Structure 1
Amino acid sequence: MTTSVETMPAAADVEAMSVPALRRATARQRFPARPVAAGWPATCTSRDEVQQLLSRPPFMLDNEGYQHKRQLGLPLLLDWLEDQPGCTWQDRWKTSRIEAAGAEWRQEISAWLQGRGTDQRWRLAAFSNALAAVISADVVRPSIGWLVTGATGKGVLVRNLARSRDPQGFARLRDLGESDADVRPTEARLALHRTAMILAAKGGVVQDVVVGDVLELVEAEADAHLKVSAGTRALYYLLNRLGAFGPDAPPSLRGLRNLGQRTPEELIDRYNLRCGPIRDLLVDYLRERQPALDYASLKSLAYYLGQRFWQDIERHHPEVDSLRLAPDVTVAWKLRLRTKATTVTGPDGHKTEARVERINYRECLTPVRAFYLDIAQWALEDPARWGPWVAPSPVRDEEVGRRKAQRQRKARMDARTRERLPVLPALVRTVDQRRKDAAAVLEAARQTHPGEAFTAAGQKLVRAVVPHGAAGKTWAEDPTTGKRRDLGLEEEHAFWTWATVEVLRATGVRIEELLELSHHSLVQYRLPTTGELVPLLQIVPSKTDTERLLLVSPELADVLSTIIRRIRDTSGAVPLVRSYDRAECTWRAASPLLFQRRRGTENCAFTEDAIRTRLSQALIDTGLTDLATGEPLRYTPHDFRRWGLSPRPGS
């Protein structure tokens, strides 16, 4: 008999969940943890059988002192368990208050010892020693939540389980961690401890661990410590290399937590609509449109119809249950749609909530009008299915006219280009200088012994001792402020900011096209007249589904060659990495992407958020401000596209 089968939360709960929480829930559903067993042979044994088991190898310790302490503590532990209600040792463990006490469980046992008139300190230590042995013998299985609180020492579980439960499995895991240059010693030790916690809670050996067990442990640690603990990627990486997860497991931990493509039902149920018939109609409509749309368009359509249209109607007019909307309901909805809430910063820096015009107002109206017209058209072909829902469209044809909106958008784009075009040289100079300075400071620090001062790029710093668990990093302290800096990370950020700015301004590509550039994108064309080889950059289809070839200038060629030299591995090849397509919610095939970086045990593709963050920081570094708001000037990747499509000065 087993319990604890993973299921997805109800629709109402899903609506209230944050995106990270929803990703975790989806990952647990796809890769469930091993269920908690209600009983197993070792926990059903008698007291005498437990004592006999722990007095024989492999549970008997070589150190006579520790073995004697265990022999003294085991009767105490069994006495305490027998004082708890239950039929098996595990039942008694669960009905006790020890798990509720968490890391403070020793206070609970001390109170029990005092109640028996035996509160000597050595008895508590002997009890703790015996508890580790009982767990390793699989007599009791503490919960993951209790173990991650630090209830047992990090080395205790590993030593006991490695000796008695799975010597070969732990030896292989230890050897992998020590031999892999990408795994830090502290991460390898944490992987052993975390694996021991999984075995203590779930039973079995190292090879029995499944992906869901790791997800459960990581989430329990996040709940206990209010953050994701370090070294979780290394844990997944080592167990996967060990072969514990099987061939169908994703290659990395981050590959687990994407939601993937969702069904029309799931897309609509995100908005928790109250009117069941309307909800079902929207689902049917999406399913009917699905074959002709890519996933990004389907998701956008669900957003406009589910949230911007019907959820807004239900929120302000809960009595409405038909597509035939009253004129006052329609007018009120359109007025609300014209504006959106935002935070405005005043001249004094004070932030207030305000409503501003929604620029893409007509983009919300168009899907709603198409929805009504499609139903009317389909009703002619299938009146039984669509006829009852035919109603006048609340959006008139003239309201979705695009000519005026396109002119307004063009005017905004031109104004933005005129404002940011003069700033581009300052941005280019800033990111280039910061790249050179960061590289000089890092190189000077590497030539300096810890504790010694050095000067580079006009900065006076002191080489700091590397913090525990941060081997391979280069740290320095500012003697004036006392701030500690990770110089390697600063150099990495400065380099990729420079690379991003240079490639975007030289090509004018979209951000998704930038992130899809690979070593294979560099091609050559031989001119038929002269036989000269011309370097070209192949841009894969994106928004317009049209492949493009861009001429590579000498400056761009220098930037691209610098990027390639940086990301080559020890064999001289550009590593193959998988990137996540946020629009289609799928993983792309592995390719030698140019915009990739090393993160722990794996090479990761850059994300759009990472690129935008680097650009925002670069603008802050220039010190330039927006004349209208007084805040740091903002650049988006698309601003470089406008610059790339605009005539260059002097052309």
Structure 2
Amino acid sequence: MSESTITQELSAQRQQANTTRAASGPSVKLLSLPGVVPPDAVFGPGGKLLARHGYDVGLEPPPLLPDAAGRAVQALGLADAIEHTLDSTAGVFLSRKHLSYGVRRLLGWLDRFEGDSWEQRWLASGADLAPRTWRDGVEPQTVPAALRVAVNALMMARVLRPSYGWQLTSGAGAHQPQRMLQAHEAEMLERMRALPAYRLALLRHQADAEACLSRVLIRTGRRLDQLQGEHLLHYADVVRTSGRNRREHLAWELLVALGPFAGEPVTLRAAWSAKGNTRQHSVETLVDRYGVPPGGVRDLLVEYLRELKPSMDYGSLEGWAYRLVRLFWWEVLQINPAQTDLRLAPAVATQWRERLAVTSDGRPRGEVHSVLFAVRGMYRDLAEWSHDELGRWGPWVAPCPVSRHESKAASKGKSP
């Protein structure tokens, strides 16, 4: 298909979209738009929970700085955005002709959606909520490989800033880090690669560090010398809570050595535990970060943790959420995806305790006792609170899957 034919198609589609917008009226604009991508499924074909996305999928990117390279790009029309992307990535990807095909298809599709910027249209399309399946919603018969190249080019050209969850899961940016850093940070990249910490690191750790920095540059829209510790801490948190290996430690140490993080602790581990680290998530995020699907128990966990919040510090609340949401409820859904309440069948409770005893890589879990204690505490609290607020807590009262004997042993730190 020639470029002129594609351009004519996009023009006709845009005109049709504008006609639909005008006819539908303000109150139903978004609902009238065709092609919104449905979010990725939570459960796989076998009924098991799929690997979790990062909890920031579908959320707006952080505000752009006044001098950000991508600020002016967001106001470009379709034709100018295409030309900007092709010009700014010239020689980086395939030939201009092949790149043009995918970029025109993808931007033409996004141009149908409401928004004052390309980033807003990306979110309105639903693509960010569907890292695994977003390509299925774009133009029919568009070659998937062309879309992968196109979205990489759009990220490099500062047109799109997908969430970390999307970048980590979609697989679209497999070769993006070196390209992104070379295109925008060639001098800093050369200095970074000359640092002793970089040169002595394993090759996979070097690649992980560059991938980390590339994703942070894409998401924040900043330069390396504009990054702050908060930005890398946020990325590290998304990686950690989505069940992936934490591989951003070298990136932190390199930024300390390069200068942007000169005032920060020398290691990421020290930064996490630094006194005065006030970065906190809402209770909703503490629950949703572990990828549990919407439902009554998810809402109950939010309400329960919200009740506990005034009586504990943030670190304790975060640990409580990890035990109840990730190590209890998420594991229960792995065993029985149809579970909708806290009343576990004996077989489910037994399997949960067996799964709890070992980590995902088969090692004995060291925090079994604290999890058992937290779970029994929640069941006990719900039963007690139901006497005062029956309508709120009563429906969730159920036999506890942790026996009194196990609870006593857990409270003493002994094996039940």
TM-score by length of 1: 0.33
User: Of the two, which has the highest radius of gyration?
Assistant: 1
Normalized per residue, the structure richer in strand is: 1
Query: Larger % of helix: which?
Result: 2
Q: TM-score, normalised by structure 2?
A: 0.49
